[in-house]
């Protein structure tokens, strides 16, 4: 899953560190930090590509 998210490339988007965060009952969620330059990257477009 992490690899498929990191394959998204846009001008003004830089992927950072990632980690698995325990949610409960043995379930983890994946957190990936990124730096976004607002003038170059649309948050809505990035969210759609991740989903």
**Structural domains of the chain ordered from first start:** 2-41 (3.30.70.60)
Residue-level pLDDT at 9 = 95
Q: What is the pTM of this model?
A: 0.79
**SS3 assignment, position 44:** helix
The residue behind tokens 């170059």 is 40
Residue 12: pLDDT band with limits 50, 70, 90: very high
Residue-level pLDDT at 47 = 93
Q: What is the average pLDDT across 34-49?
A: 93
Burial 1-40 (b: 16+ CB within 10 A, else e): eeeeeeeeeeeeeeeeeeeeeeeeeeeeeeeeeeeeeeee
Percent of the chain with pLDDT strictly greater than 90: 96
> For the chain, what is the mean pLDDT?
95
């Amino acid at each position: 899953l992490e690899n498929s998210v990191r394959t998204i490339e846009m001008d003004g988007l830089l992927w950072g560190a990632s980690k698995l965060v325990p949610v409960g009952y043995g379930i983890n969620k994946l957190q990936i930090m990124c730096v976004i330059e607002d003038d170059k990257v649309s948050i809505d477009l990035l969210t759609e590509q991740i989903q």
